[in-house]
């Protein structure tokens, strides 16, 4: 029996009519695995993920695959956005086992939750040297029955690796972590593409914020040059939706042209902060325009009627990745004039057979709209008219689905970004939008004891709040205090960071991701690196340092100092991966 019908997650509900006998994460599933001595098939993904959709269509709807799974495994489905703590643990396991990461994440574990197999997307049938589920599932089931000792030895060794990896032994701190991080960033920067590293390219908003702060403190022009180059490249390239605004999650190529098309709330929030700070230091009109357009997109397309902001817009329509966002040459000819088509070829990079035709999964002949350069003085008005025509034509297409759950941590980041933008551009309406989002979370996503919940959808809040929920919401509330001078926001921020110290803290280790270890995960994690989002520990330090400044409290100053002393030694070997922690430490006075 499939047990996902009562879930509140759009991702889990997408799988609720599969013939696979899915369980949501919980004791019922693990008890069944223990009682029946079955391995667990753990599948982790999220609602706006293209390859998650593909695997659901190809395999989890298939009766033969379902028969194999139901006969030999206990099957658990997890929404990584509802349970980022679970996802983080098993993603680390996948990296340790196979050196791979991504979604959908496929794990096979013992009934004790210890992984012994990991993969990402797996096709239904074997092809191109890659095993499909039809061949793989019987083999994994055989290994569990016939080679149990070897399987359990693998799982045990992996558990030891993960436990060692998360113990975060301190190392020596360089004399100037800022300069070391700057050197790392400069060494990895590609001036031709405006990117750090090679494909795939993820927007690194936290690193850009660090570099802007480094320039502000030292006058190092190279730091500002790198940020300006990266901000322009992302804004001109396919990462940005030139027709409807907003940023996609990342680009699959090395030149910011071909995106993975889902749009995430946290991406908008973090990039808003980067473009805001870039504008404050340069007054570059492109950065101001980007902020204004992205805020309009968020308020128009990601706001809920209750005041908060949804999690994401899907990459697919009708099973086709990017179909809402890309254009064939014929489709463009049907919308634009002949003169505009000439400009589209020259300025928008449009090609007869598509400019993304070598990318698997995209529509045949797909053109990703991007700017090959900034428009000249006589081209701006014509370009605006072209984009307006395309926007009108796009309205006739089926719209991407919305993952309409409201997440406390993602909303905390957006609240902070909106208030900062409202203060810089004197937009009281943006600050009011942030205030409405905060009211929803404080009213609907906090329990009677003032403890936060992580997810809200259809009038129902669920999942115990995690470190990032408390830290990111506190950041948003501190920004709201600065934007409104209303003391209630500062008091609530103080309350939430006190709860972090009471429920999440470990004097020896720093902060843990989750508070409730009655539900024991494979290992405890101390999030230090920024990753796709900023580290919860880094934002906790930022919150404490800001509270110390705003309240002139010796207690908050001591807490910030304590956390900085615990965390900074652990990032000395990877300073660019903890760039927001360096920002927070500088605010606290430790670098």
Same domain, 481 and 581: yes
DSSP 127-154: BTTB--HHHHHHHHHHHHHH-HHHHHHH
Q: Residue range 307-321: average pLDDT?
A: 91
What pLDDT was estimated at residue 54? 95
Residues 346-363 pLDDT 10s: 999 999 999 986 555 677
Same domain, 74 and 115: yes
What pLDDT was estimated at residue 452? 96
Omega prior to 360 cis, within 30 of 0 = no
Q: Is residue 451 part of a domain?
A: yes
164 falls in which pLDDT band (50, 70, 90)? low
pTM for this structure? 0.95
Q: Is residue 304 part of a domain?
A: yes
Q: Is residue 4 part of a domain?
A: no
Indicate the SS3 state at residue 395: coil
Domain edge (last residue) among 341, 374, 396: 396
Q: Is residue 40 part of a domain?
A: yes
Distances, alpha carbon 578 to alpha carbons 34, 150, 508, 581, in Å? 39, 37, 19, 5
- 260 exposure class (CB count in 10 Å sphere: 0-12, 13-18, 19+): buried
**In which domain, by residue range, is 330 found?**
325-396
Same domain, 200 and 296: yes
- 201 exposure class (CB count in 10 Å sphere: 0-12, 13-18, 19+): buried
CATH at 121: 3.40.30.10
Domain edge (last residue) among 348, 365, 396: 396
Q: What is the mean pLDDT of the chain?
A: 93
Quick one: which of 252, 247, 251, 276 has its CA closest to 264? 247
Contact criterion met (CB below 8 Å) for 363 and 328: yes
Residue 151 scores a pLDDT above 60? yes
CB atoms within 10 A of CB 395: 9
Contact criterion met (CB below 8 Å) for 23 and 76: yes
What pLDDT was estimated at residue 165? 57
What pLDDT was estimated at residue 318? 81
% the chain with pLDDT above 70: 94
Same domain, 507 and 417: yes
64 falls in which pLDDT band (50, 70, 90)? very high
DSSP state of 169: -
Same domain, 407 and 392: no
Q: Residue range 218-229: average pLDDT?
A: 97
Same domain, 193 and 143: no
Q: Residue range 486-494: average pLDDT?
A: 98
Distances, alpha carbon 61 to alpha carbons 4, 10, 21, 111, 560, in Å? 14, 17, 11, 25, 51
Residue 256 scores a pLDDT above 70? yes
Residue 569 scores a pLDDT above 50? yes
Bridge-based pairing state of the strands 406-407 and 453-457: antiparallel
Distances, alpha carbon 299 to alpha carbons 66, 246, 268, 309, 438, in Å? 41, 11, 11, 8, 14
What pLDDT was estimated at residue 166? 47
Residue 173 scores a pLDDT above 60? no
Q: Residue range 525-552: average pLDDT?
A: 91
Residue 174 scores a pLDDT above 50? no
Q: Residue range 419-442: average pLDDT?
A: 98
Q: Residue range 537-561: average pLDDT?
A: 96
Same domain, 434 and 564: yes
% the chain with pLDDT above 90: 82
Number of domains in the chain: 3
- 516 exposure class (CB count in 10 Å sphere: 0-12, 13-18, 19+): exposed
378 falls in which pLDDT band (50, 70, 90)? confident
Domain edge (last residue) among 165, 191, 214: 165
Q: Is residue 170 part of a domain?
A: no
Same domain, 377 and 423: no
């Amino acid at each position: 029996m499939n047990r996902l019908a009562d879930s509140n997650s759009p991702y889990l509900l997408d799988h609720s009519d599969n013939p696979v006998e899915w369980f949501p994460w919980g004791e019922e599933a693990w008890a069944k695995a223990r009682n029946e001595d079955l391995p667990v098939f753990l599948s982790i993904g999220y609602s706006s993920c293209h390859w998650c959709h593909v695997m659901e269509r190809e395999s989890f709807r298939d009766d033969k695959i379902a028969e194999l799974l139901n006969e030999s495994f206990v099957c658990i489905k997890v929404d990584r956005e509802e349970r980022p703590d679970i996802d983080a643990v098993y993603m680390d396991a996948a990296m340790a086992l196979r050196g791979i990461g991504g979604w959908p994440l496929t794990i096979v574990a013992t009934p004790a939750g210890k992984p012994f197999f990991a993969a990402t997307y797996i096709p239904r049938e074997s092809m191109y040297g890659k095993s499909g589920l039809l061949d793989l599932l019987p083999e994994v089931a055989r290994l569990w029955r016939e080679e149990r000792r070897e399987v359990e030895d693998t799982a045990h060794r992996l558990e030891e690796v993960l436990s060692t990896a998360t113990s975060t032994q301190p190392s020596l701190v360089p004399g100037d972590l800022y300069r070391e991080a700057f050197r790392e960033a400069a060494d990895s920067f590609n001036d031709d593409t405006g990117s750090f590293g090679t494909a795939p390219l993820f927007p690194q908003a936290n690193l850009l914020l660090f570099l802007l702060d480094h320039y502000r403190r030292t006058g190092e022009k190279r730091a500002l040059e790198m940020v300006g180059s990266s901000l322009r490249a992302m804004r001109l390239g396919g990462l940005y939706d030139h027709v409807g605004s907003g940023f996609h999650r990342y680009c699959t190529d090395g030149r910011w042209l071909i995106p993975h098309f889902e749009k995430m709330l946290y991406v908008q929030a973090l990039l808003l902060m980067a473009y805001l700070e870039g504008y404050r230091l340069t007054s570059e009109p492109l950065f101001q325009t980007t902020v204004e357009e992205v805020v309009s997109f968020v308020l128009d397309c990601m706001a809920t009627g209750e005041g908060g902001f949804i999690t994401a817009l899907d990459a697919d329509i009708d099973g086709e990745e990017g179909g809402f966002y890309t254009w064939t040459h014929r489709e463009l000819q049907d919308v634009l004039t002949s003169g505009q088509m000439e400009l589209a070829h020259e300025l928008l990079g449009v090609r007869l057979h598509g400019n993304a035709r070598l990318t698997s999964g995209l529509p045949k002949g797909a053109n990703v709209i991007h700017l090959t350069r900034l428009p000249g003085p006589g081209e701006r008005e014509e370009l605006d008219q072209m984009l307006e025509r395309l926007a009108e034509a796009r309205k006739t297409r089926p719209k991407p689905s919305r993952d309409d759950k409201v997440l406390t941590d993602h909303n905390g980041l957006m609240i902070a970004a909106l208030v900062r933008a409202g203060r810089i551009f004197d937009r009281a309406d943006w600050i009011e939008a942030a205030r409405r989002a905060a009211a929803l979370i404080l009213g609907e996503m906090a329990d009677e004891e003032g403890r936060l919940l992580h997810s809200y959808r259809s009038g129902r809040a669920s999942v115990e709040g995690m470190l990032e929920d408390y830290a990111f919401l506190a950041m948003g509330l501190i920004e709201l205090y600065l934007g409104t001078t209303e003391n209630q926001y500062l008091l609530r921020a103080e309350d939430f960071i006190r709860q972090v110290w009471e429920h999440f803290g470990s004097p020896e280790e720093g902060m843990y991701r989750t508070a409730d270890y009655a539900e024991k995960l494979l290992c405890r994690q101390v999030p230090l690196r920024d990753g796709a989002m900023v580290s919860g520990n880094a934002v906790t330090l930022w919150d404490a340092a800001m509270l110390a400044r705003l309240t002139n409290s010796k207690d908050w100053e001591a807490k910030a100092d304590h956390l900085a002393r615990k965390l900074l030694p652990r990032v000395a070997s990877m300073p660019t991966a903890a760039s927001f922690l360096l920002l927070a430490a500088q605010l606290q006075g430790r670098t």
